[in-house]
Amino acid sequence: MRASVLVTRASFPDIVDRLRADFDVTDNPDDVIWTQPELIARLQGKVGAMTAGSDRIDATLLDACPQLKAVCNIGVGYNNVDVQACTARGVLVTNTPDVLTDTTADFGFALMMAAARRITESERFLRAGEWTKTGRYDMFVGGDVHGSTLGILGMGRIGQAIARRGAFGFGMRVIYHNRSRLAPDVEESCRARYVDKETLLRESDHLIIVVPYSASSHHAIGAAELKQMKSFATLTNIARGGVVDDAALAVALSEGSIAAAGLDVFEGEPVVSLALLAQKNVVLTPHIGSASVSTRRAMAALCADNLIAALGLGASAGKPPTPVNPQVLARPAATV
């Protein structure tokens, strides 16, 4: 009898078919976002799952699904998964880092530029038929990107890729703050200088948030931090909702404490606060930082590789490429 796995969100059909070669697969081609009870019901009898950020994997779910052995999450972030609870129950967790680094860095830079140069604000103006004569000298003037100071909070793979784009492509002065300072050769490769958080906030013309979400990074940017920024600065968040206090940001935008923002992630997404939606000087996108065809395919393929290997099949049986809690692998292997 073949083992059963669940694919919780719609994915590329050929990648789902790869799983069908080894498993009985229940998938979700209509891409319905299931409630927690619905997810638990569909996980009954399943030994593995390809999950997404909309799926909350917690102790309650794990206790209701005792056969589950592998949770393979699509995305770098996995704050939807209680890793500690999974580890305690011998459930392997994996994610999909690296394959989305450059695409997400491209998008973060594009979002920052759109905010700085007021792209969406001016497009709405044009589409509404308000461009009826030659523009004034100050019509939609924004901030320069080239030659300005780029600040990065969170200098992992994506942060470093953004730094290189800024330094080498736009001649930007790059400063960063991180939980730990990078090695000198990595700093040199990014032309980036380490500063404390207060200096980062004070000196950045364009601040991009790429720090992982955790309890310690919750509201890392709030009202106090926003008040330390330049009035003509922009803030871009491509990290996770909750790293930025959205309510405080809406106030800062409305009061002109900062000039503009670009947001791909939100607290409580897919719901976006009405206060943010009311602001003209913010670019809003629906968590699409990794959304290129090649990157999304690579993420799905890596997730499938992790699932196959985690369940003891394939050339990498027992050695999934990107485990989050590899200590589970030291325990007796669960084969199918």
**Three-point CA angle 158, 212, 39, nearest 5°:** 110
Cα–Cα separations (whole angstroms), residue 232 to 81, 165, 203: 38, 22, 11
**Amino acid at the residue 246:** D
**pLDDT tens string 166-190:** 999 999 999 999 999 999 999 999 9
**Mean pLDDT over each residue of the chain, to the nearest integer:** 95
- Quick one: pLDDT at residue 180? 94
**Amino acid at the residue 310:** A
Work out the end-to-end distance of the chain between its first and last CA atoms, rounded to an integer number of angstroms: 9
Cα–Cα separations (whole angstroms), residue 329 to 58, 259, 319: 20, 48, 8
In which domain, by residue range, is 220 found?
101-284
Q: How many domains does the chain have?
A: 2
Cα–Cα separations (whole angstroms), residue 147 to 114, 171, 175, 189: 17, 5, 13, 18
Task: Calculate mean pLDDT across residues 312-319.
Answer: 78
Tell whether 186 and 84 lie within a shared domain.
no
Considering only CA atoms, which of 286, 240, 244 is closest in space to residue 261? Answer: 244
Tell whether 215 and 148 lie within a shared domain.
yes
Q: Which two tokens stand for residue 127?
A: 């589409």
Tell whether 229 and 249 lie within a shared domain.
yes
Tell whether 16 and 56 lie within a shared domain.
yes
Residue 334 has pLDDT above 80, yes or no: no
- Quick one: pLDDT at residue 332? 59
Which CATH number do you get for residue 319?
3.40.50.720
Relative to beta strand 24-26, strand 48-51 is unpaired
Tell whether 23 and 49 lie within a shared domain.
yes
- Does residue 128 form part of some domain? yes
- Quick one: pLDDT at residue 335? 44
- Quick one: pLDDT at residue 310? 95
Task: Calculate mean pLDDT across residues 10-30.
Answer: 96
Residue 213 has pLDDT above 80, yes or no: yes
- Quick one: pLDDT at residue 315? 66
Tell whether 140 and 32 lie within a shared domain.
no
Tell whether 322 and 239 lie within a shared domain.
no
- Quick one: pLDDT at residue 322? 97
Relative to beta strand 260-263, strand 282-284 is parallel
10 Å CB burial of residue 247 (0-12, 13-18, 19+) is middle
- Does residue 336 form part of some domain? no
3-state secondary structure of 186: helix
Tell whether 116 and 216 lie within a shared domain.
yes
Predicted TM-score (pTM) of the model is 0.91
Among left, alpha and beta (phi > 0; psi -120 to 50; other), residue 292 is beta
Backbone angles phi, psi at 51, to 5 degrees: -115, 170
**Amino acid at the residue 181:** R
- Does residue 237 form part of some domain? yes
**Amino acid at the residue 155:** M
**pLDDT tens string 231-266:** 999 999 999 999 999 999 999 999 999 999 999 999
- Does residue 229 form part of some domain? yes
Q: Which residues are catalytic?
A: 240, 269, 287
